[in-house]
Amino acid sequence: MKRSNLFLLIGVIAAAVVIFLNFDSSNIKTSQLSEAGGELKIYNWSDYIAEDTISNFEAETGIIVTYDMYDSNEVLEAKMLAGSSGYDLVVPTADFLARGREAGAYQDMDLSRIQNASNQDPEIQAQADRMVGSNSAGLVYMWGSTGIAYNEDMVAERLGDDAPTDSWSLILDPANAAKLEDCGIAILDAPTDVLPNVMTYLGYPGTSMEKSHFEAAGDALSAIRPYLRYINSSQSINDIANGDICAAIMWSGDAFQAAYRAEEAENGHVIDYYIPNEGTNLWFDVMAIPADAKNVDNAYKFVDYMMRADVAAANVNYVWYASGNEAARPDIDPEILSHPGIYPTEKAKEKLFVTPVYDAQTDRIVTRVWNRFSAGN
Ligand code: N2P
Mean pLDDT, residues 206-231 taken together: 98
For residues 150 and 291, membership in a common domain is answered with no
Quickly count: other Cβ atoms within 10 Å of residue 279's Cβ.
22
What pLDDT score was predicted for residue 29? 44
Report the residue among 43, 44, 45, 256 best suited for mutation to probe ligand 1: largest number of ligand atoms under 8 A from its CB. 45
Q: Is residue 33 a part of any domain in this protein?
A: no
For residues 135 and 160, membership in a common domain is answered with no
Q: Is residue 336 scored above 70 in pLDDT?
A: yes
What pLDDT score was predicted for residue 42? 98
Shortest-distance Cα residue to atom 6 of ligand 1: 251
> Could you tell me which residues come within 8 angstroms of residue 228 by beta carbon, excluding any fewer than 6 positions away?
177, 185, 186, 187
- The response to whether residue 285 sits with its C-beta less than 6 Å from ligand 1 reads yes
Mean pLDDT, residues 196-204 taken together: 98
Q: What is the DSSP string of 258-306?
A: HHHHHHHHT-S--EEEE--TT-EEEEEEEEBEETT-S-HHHHHHHHHHH
Local structure of 89: helix, strand or coil: strand
What pLDDT score was predicted for residue 30? 43
Q: In the 8-state DSSP scheme, what is residue 70? A: E
CA distance 345 to 347: 5
What pLDDT score was predicted for residue 21? 42
Mean pLDDT, residues 328-353 taken together: 93
Q: What is the DSSP string of 223-243?
A: HHGGG-SEE-SSTHHHHHHTT
What pLDDT score was predicted for residue 23? 39
For residues 210 and 177, membership in a common domain is answered with yes
Q: Pick the atom of ligand 1 nearest to 46's CA.
A: 5
Q: Is residue 78 a part of any domain in this protein?
A: yes
What pLDDT score was predicted for residue 349? 87
Q: Please choose, from the candidates 77, 112, 106, the residue with its C-alpha nearest in 3D space to the C-alpha of residue 293.
A: 106
Mean pLDDT, residues 328-337 taken together: 96
C-beta separation of 138 from 286 below 8 A: yes
- The response to whether residue 45 sits with its C-beta less than 6 Å from ligand 1 reads yes
Q: Is residue 349 a part of any domain in this protein?
A: no
- The response to whether residue 318 sits with its C-beta less than 6 Å from ligand 1 reads no
CA–CA–CA angle 328, 307, 134 (5° rounding): 115
What pLDDT score was predicted for residue 26? 40
What pLDDT score was predicted for residue 36? 74
C-beta separation of 43 from 80 below 8 A: no
Q: How many CA atoms lie within 13 A of 221 on its CB side?
A: 31
Distance 71 CA to ligand 1 centre (A): 7
Alpha helices in 103-207 (DSSP H): 122-132, 152-159, 169-172, 174-180, 191-202
What pLDDT score was predicted for residue 18? 42
What pLDDT score was predicted for residue 13? 52
Mean pLDDT, residues 314-325 taken together: 97
What pLDDT score was predicted for residue 347? 83
Q: What is the DSSP string of 14-57?
A: HHHHHHHHHHHHHHHHHHHHHHTT-EEEEEEETT-S-TTHHHHH
For residues 252 and 314, membership in a common domain is answered with no
Question: What's the pLDDT tens digit per position in 245-269?
Answer: 999 999 999 999 999 999 999 999 9
For residues 180 and 267, membership in a common domain is answered with yes
For residues 92 and 231, membership in a common domain is answered with no
For residues 231 and 126, membership in a common domain is answered with no
Confidence band of 2 (pLDDT split at 50, 70, 90): low
Distance 256 CA to ligand 1 centre (A): 12
CA distance 255 to 125: 24
Distance 57 CA to ligand 1 centre (A): 22
Q: Is residue 206 a part of any domain in this protein?
A: yes
Confidence band of 309 (pLDDT split at 50, 70, 90): very high
**213/22: higher pLDDT:** 213
Domain extent for 241? 145-282+356-375
Distance 62 CA to ligand 1 centre (A): 28
Q: Is residue 278 scored above 60 in pLDDT?
A: yes
Mean pLDDT, residues 170-179 taken together: 98
- The response to whether residue 201 sits with its C-beta less than 6 Å from ligand 1 reads no
Mean pLDDT, residues 341-368 taken together: 93
Q: Is residue 23 a part of any domain in this protein?
A: no
What pLDDT score was predicted for residue 153? 98
**CATH number reported for the structural domain that contains residue 161 in this entry:** 3.40.190.10
- The response to whether residue 251 sits with its C-beta less than 6 Å from ligand 1 reads yes
CA distance 259 to 334: 17
- pTM, two decimal places: 0.90
Q: Is residue 17 a part of any domain in this protein?
A: no
Confidence band of 345 (pLDDT split at 50, 70, 90): confident
Q: Is residue 369 scored above 80 in pLDDT?
A: yes
Instruction: Give me the number of domains the chain comprises.
Output: 2
Q: Is residue 18 a part of any domain in this protein?
A: no
For residues 276 and 300, membership in a common domain is answered with no
What pLDDT score was predicted for residue 10? 53
Question: What's the pLDDT tens digit per position in 24-37?
Answer: 444 444 444 545 78
**12/36: higher pLDDT:** 36
Q: Is residue 341 a part of any domain in this protein?
A: no
- The response to whether residue 283 sits with its C-beta less than 6 Å from ligand 1 reads yes
For residues 105 and 199, membership in a common domain is answered with no
- Taking the CA atoms of 219, 224, 226 and 231 in sequence, report the sign of the dihedral they define: negative
For residues 245 and 370, membership in a common domain is answered with yes
Mean pLDDT, residues 62-70 taken together: 98
For residues 116 and 183, membership in a common domain is answered with no
For residues 137 and 165, membership in a common domain is answered with no
What pLDDT score was predicted for residue 164? 98
